[in-house]
Structure 1
Amino acid sequence: MGGSTLTPGFEGMGWPLAFVLSWQPTRFEAAAAVHDLERTLERLRALGYAGVELAVRDPAMVPVPRLRSLLERYALRIPAIGTGQAWVEEGLSLTHPDAVVRRAALARLEAHLELAAEWGSLVIIGLIRGRLMAGVDRGRALAWLGEAIAHLADRAAAYPVRLALEPLNRYETDLLNTVEETLALIERVGRSHVGVLLDTFHANIEEASLEKAIARAGDRLFHVHIADSNRWAPGWGHLDFESVLKALREAGYGGWLSAEVLPQPSLEEAMAQVARWARIALNRSPV
């Protein structure tokens, strides 16, 4: 396999490391659109990454055979597939007041499930849940969201694929801002393969304590996004990642660390900084 001669990854240090990339141009700033996919995947593997998390607006746009070939060549996995660009670019939402839009969002996510099944990836429910809109109260929106998640979870079980709901900060949505709120919805849905994605950037805004939020998520913590306080790569802000990693270890977290960061000062520099940070931080905090 082509990746076998490249720099070893971080798996031996604990959690495998991934970087979030966008499959297509997007207005979402924390997922860089890639113009030369092969070169970027080659660079990720050379830096020691084990995976690439893909933000996908429409799975129909993804050439699966070519992507599969590149992943095999560079020995990379896809731990998760992001779905939020369907909201950012098209306005598709599971809580939209128009039932036609809600059905379109559900159908799009069903396509994401099928794509995720190719690699056993998680499907992330983040921005595509939408936000409160005129004429819809919170109770109604959460009921729609719960019904949609239950439907998707039942579809996902057949693959099988897991779903991860991501608490987001108040500036991006007013639905499910904290781990506690997210767990409450997950409990109502009542499906074992629905869990939480904790993003350190969002949690730093919304949680009184990142460490307590991680502990509260417990075995429902399916995936982790890492970004510093300013959404730049870890080490370029002021988050105490040593404490965060300790909390993940104590919670028994065994999933991925996936860097969803602003591609600043450039994509190349951001990828390299995450890798530098990981080599130091994961050596200090063995799982």
Structure 2
Amino acid sequence: MSAGLPWPVAYTVSGDDCATRMPLGHSAPLAEAVRDLAELDYDGVEVQVRETGAHHAETLARTVGAAGLKVYGIGTGPVAAHDRLTLTDPSPDVRRHALARLLGAARLAGELRVPVSLGQTRGTFLPGLADMQRVWAERAVEQLAEEAAERGSRLLLEPQSRAPRCGTPRPRPSPSSTRSTSPPDWSSTPTTSTPRASTRSGPSPTSPPSPAACNSPTPRPGGP
């Protein structure tokens, strides 16, 4: 598929350690997903992982390689999406477990010599805690980036939206404003849209691949 392009074409899949398949990626188990993608002439995959480490590298590479594909990246969305572990959670134990999971993913990425990405597992700033959460996030991201570099990988930060989560209700105008001849002002209320879910289990050869960031748009802490 990448013939004539300066980069390989990859698609998001879920690792066997994931409790459920991640949205915006192939919905089949890993071995089946890579076979489907090989038939569609993809070059490789980004593998979303939940709880893994360097010792899983050989098995993962063998499963993906059996279909003639390569692993081009390790994603960490399931750490938050499945287990609700983030680097900015008010609980020290939750933050510690989140960082441990991410460090394991970085070690796996290092063994495979591919990047590791960080998206929604950064967490969300809460009113009254944002300043402290920013410190927690910066310290954790620094440690994660150092671990990735030492292992031969690198950390990629996903530029996710800071808008409210999907499903957050929009405020309704007051009765007085509904009687006004002017439309209500929504400019102070950021919104986000979610791609419509496909009824197919995988990508079609005629449509562009879904973004590597396989999790739904979610607030991110103010950038480390």
Tell me the alpha carbon deviations over residues 162-183 of structure 1, each in whole angstroms, 9 at most, x when there is no partner: 111112221349xxxxxxxxxx
Would you say 1:231 and 2:223 are equivalent positions?
no
Among 5, 17, 27, the residue aligned to 1:13: 5
Length, aligned pairs only: 182
CA drift at 1:127: 0.7
SS of 1:93 mapped into structure 2: coil
* Equivalent runs, 1:88-99 vs 2, <5 Å: 88-99=81-92
Task: Give the letter for the 2:140 counterpart.
Answer: A
Would you say 1:267 and 2:201 are equivalent positions?
yes
* Equivalent runs, 1:1-287 vs 2, <5 Å: 9-23=1-15, 24-26=18-20, 28-35=22-29, 37-59=30-52, 63-133=56-126, 135-136=128-129, 138-169=130-161, 170-172=163-165, 231=195, 262=197, 264-268=198-202, 271-272=203-204, 275-277=205-207
C-alpha separation in 1, matches of 2:51 and 2:20: 12
Q: How many percent identity over aligned positions?
A: 30
Task: Give the letter for the 1:146 counterpart.
Answer: E
C-alpha separation in 1, matches of 2:91 and 2:128: 10
Tell me the alpha carbon deviations over residues 13-66 of structure 1, each in whole angstroms, 9 at most, x when there is no partner: 33311111112243743234423x333212211211111111111115x85433
C-alpha separation in 1, matches of 2:138 and 2:81: 21
C-alpha separation in 2, matches of 1:31 and 1:25: 14
Tell me the alpha carbon deviations over residues 155-201 of structure 1, each in whole angstroms, 9 at most, x when there is no partner: 1111111111112221349xxxxxxxxxxxxxxxxxxxxxxxxxxxx
Alpha carbons of structure 1 residues 22 and 72: separation in structure 2 relative to 1, 3 Å: closer
Q: Which runs of 5+ in 1 are unaligned?
A: 1-8, 174-204, 207-228, 233-261, 280-287
Task: Give the letter for the 1:14 counterpart.
Answer: P
Which of structures 1 and 2 has the bigger CA Rg? 2
The RMSD of aligned alpha carbons is: 2.7
Say if 1:11 and 1:50, in contact at 8 Å, map to a contact too: no
C-alpha separation in 2, matches of 1:151 and 1:65: 25
SS of 2:38 mapped into structure 1: helix
Alpha carbons of structure 1 residues 267 and 53: separation in structure 2 relative to 1, 3 Å: same
Say if 2:86 and 2:94, in contact at 8 Å, map to a contact too: yes
Higher helix share: 1
C-alpha separation in 2, matches of 1:88 and 1:43: 25
Tell me the alpha carbon deviations over residues 225-246 of structure 1, each in whole angstroms, 9 at most, x when there is no partner: xxxx7525xxxxxxxxxxxxxx
C-alpha separation in 2, matches of 1:165 and 1:14: 22
Higher relative contact order (CA 8 A, sep 6+): 2
Say if 2:47 and 2:75, in contact at 8 Å, map to a contact too: yes
Say if 2:13 and 2:33, in contact at 8 Å, map to a contact too: no
C-alpha separation in 1, matches of 2:109 and 2:40: 25
Task: Give the letter for the 1:116 counterpart.
Answer: A
SS of 1:52 mapped into structure 2: strand
CA drift at 1:118: 2.3
Alpha carbons of structure 1 residues 29 and 40: separation in structure 2 relative to 1, 3 Å: closer
TM-score normalised by structure 1 residue count: 0.56
